[in-house]
């Protein structure tokens, strides 16, 4: 098994690798099987790496072993230190790693073909037109994905606040992308001078990185689930482009699967917010929210944990709707304790999950899984909404826009038409929130003024702990 010819053995192994990718992706669709799905996809990627090493033949395995050791160590440190509340930042970081890896592989391909041997021929002549073109595409997508993902992580972690408007942003984006691509094409297809070609390709790298920053900077926190999904898709497309540049079928297929899955998820997120991808990319609504809207409300009723516990003790059905505030307060364990206390008294308890609750798709599922909330208690928005009119009590924990009735009462408003969890239909609603400040959409929440709503002001964990204590007394 020498050279780059695919043998019967590697062909069979390649088929097994793709099967692991597809099966793993399928199992990721359900919370109960997602852990095994992730393990299957990781095994598929490891097998793909082994197949590639077999096909390449003569390799200095010391570098390969060193890279695997360093990468494994970094991955373990990141995951061990990660909290479920920080999972969106981790996903954004991994998206960035994927984009950076694709761009660096493409750059190394260019470097090894033209710069290091000081070739007097163009990149396209040395590598072939297809490899040269996809090399440019890989650098363009990979570099923009990396810078955009880094910025997304900084915004998610609160190190960069706000969603500043960039003048003539669309024109600037077009200039950076088209100009960067032009530099790469000229450098790969028309320039024989090694130094000039290298300079042009580096210019492509820089222009693409700036494009990623311009893309993400004006987008507010409310749109981060969509942004993360899109960046995930772009990291897959960058990998697929690198696969074409290397003539590696496995990388092409794996990258295409990731790219397609990310794009489908992006579309699902947009649908859940009743917005188009173009609308999101133009720059979201409401920035990072958090303004003071207390003076806009009239007739708001507030209560305490003891009063709420008395109502809950008489309830036959309760739905808990978590939001990002629950994740920030690390109140998932306290929410589970409340659910267990209610279940022990014979109450039917479920968690209603909105598709874009939190900072990434599935964020609330991950947070609740960390607290070992039973999978059968989790219900998606479409499943829970028909039952809310027959629900005795809904407890909203840190959610805002995803339960705001303004989505239907004000069709022309910032969240008009967005599917929400229709908690106002329940007999009683308790909203646990620090204040009456608006969510990311920057508008008041009509739910707070409804006759059947009682506000429980305070830190989500402290309020839920008090509820659990009252219910267990």
Q: What are phi and psi of 430, to 5 degrees?
A: -110, 125
DSSP assignment string, 401-459:
GGG-THHHH-TTSTTTT-----GGGSSEEEEEESSS---TT-S--GGGGSTTEEEEES-
Contact by Cβ (8 Å): 332, 377: no
DSSP symbol at 458:
S
- CA–chain centroid gap for 27, Å, is 18
Catalytic residue among 223, 288, 401, 459: 401
Query: Which of 303, 292, 294 minimizes the C-alpha distance to 431?
Result: 303
In contact, 212 and 148? CB cutoff 8 Å: yes
CA distance readout (Å), 282 to 138, 216, 421: 24, 10, 26
β-strand partners of 380: 353
Please name which of 228, 182, 169, 241 lies closest in space to residue 208, comparing C-alpha atoms: 182
CB 230 within 8 A of CB 366: no
| Tokens describing residue 279 | 């609308």
Is 193 among the catalytic positions? no
Question: Angle of helix 194-216 relative to helix 169-189, nearest 10 degrees?
Answer: 160
DSSP state of 60: -
**Contact status, residue 424 vs residue 459, Cβ threshold 8 Å:** no
H-helix segments, 247-400: 249-272, 277-282, 305-313, 324-328, 332-344, 363-370, 381-384
CA distance 128 to 8: 27
**Residue 369 to residues 225, 255, 269, 324, 362, Cα–Cα distance (Å):** 19, 28, 21, 15, 11
- Report residue 6 as tokens: 């695919």
List the catalytic residues.
401
């Amino acid at each position: 098994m020498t050279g780059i010819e695919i043998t019967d053995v590697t062909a069979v192994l390649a088929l097994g690798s793709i099967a692991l990718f597809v099966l793993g992706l399928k199992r990721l669709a359900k919370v109960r099987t997602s852990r095994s799905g992730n393990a299957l996809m990781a095994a598929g990627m490891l097998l793909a790496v082994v197949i590639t090493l077999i096909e390449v033949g003569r390799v200095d395995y010391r570098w390969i072993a060193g890279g695997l050791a360093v990468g494994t160590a970094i991955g373990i440190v990141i995951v061990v230190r990660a909290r479920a509340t920080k999972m969106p930042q981790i996903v954004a970081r991994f998206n960035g790693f994927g984009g950076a890896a694709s761009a660096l592989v493409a750059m190394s391909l260019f470097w090894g073909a033209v710069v290091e041997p000081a070739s007097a021929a163009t990149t396209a002549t040395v590598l072939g037109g297809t490899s040269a073109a996809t090399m440019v595409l890989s650098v363009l997508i990979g570099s923009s994905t990396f810078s955009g993902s880094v910025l997304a992580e900084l915004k998610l972690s609160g190190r960069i606040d706000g969603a500043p408007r960039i003048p003539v942003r669309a024109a600037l984006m077009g200039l950076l992308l088209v100009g960067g691509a032009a530099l790469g094409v000229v450098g790969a297809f028309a320039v024989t001078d090694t130094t000039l070609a290298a300079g042009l390709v580096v210019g492509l790298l820089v222009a693409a990185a700036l494009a990623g920053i311009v893309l993400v900077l004006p987008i507010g926190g409310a749109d981060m689930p969509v942004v993360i999904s899109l960046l995930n898709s772009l990291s897959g497309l960058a990998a697929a482009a690198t696969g074409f540049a290397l003539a590696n079928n496995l990388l092409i297929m794996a990258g295409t699967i990731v790219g397609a899955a990310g794009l489908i998820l992006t579309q699902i997120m947009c649908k859940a917010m009743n917005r188009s991808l173009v609308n999101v990319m133009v720059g979201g609504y409401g920035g990072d929210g958090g303004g003071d809207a207390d003076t806009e409300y009239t007739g708001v009723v507030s209560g305490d944990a003891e009063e709420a516990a008395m109502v809950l003790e008489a309830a036959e059905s309760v739905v808990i709707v978590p939001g990002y505030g629950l994740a920030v307060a690390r109140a998932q364990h306290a929410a589970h304790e409340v659910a267990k206390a209610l279940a022990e008294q014979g109450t039917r308890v479920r968690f209603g999950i909105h598709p874009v609750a939190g900072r990434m798709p599935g964020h609330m599922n991950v947070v609740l899984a960390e607290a070992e909330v039973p999978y059968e208690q989790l219900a998606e928005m479409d499943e829970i909404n028909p039952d809310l009119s027959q629900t005795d009590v809904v407890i909203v924990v840190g959610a805002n826009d995803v339960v705001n009735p303004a989505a239907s009462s004000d069709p022309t408003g910032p969240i008009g038409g967005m599917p929400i969890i229709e908690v106002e239909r329940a007999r009683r609603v308790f909203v646990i929130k620090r204040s009456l400040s608006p969510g990311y959409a920057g508008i008041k929440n009509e739910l707070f003024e409804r006759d059947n709503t009682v506000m429980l002001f305070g830190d989500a964990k402290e309020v839920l702990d008090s509820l659990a204590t009252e219910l267990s007394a």
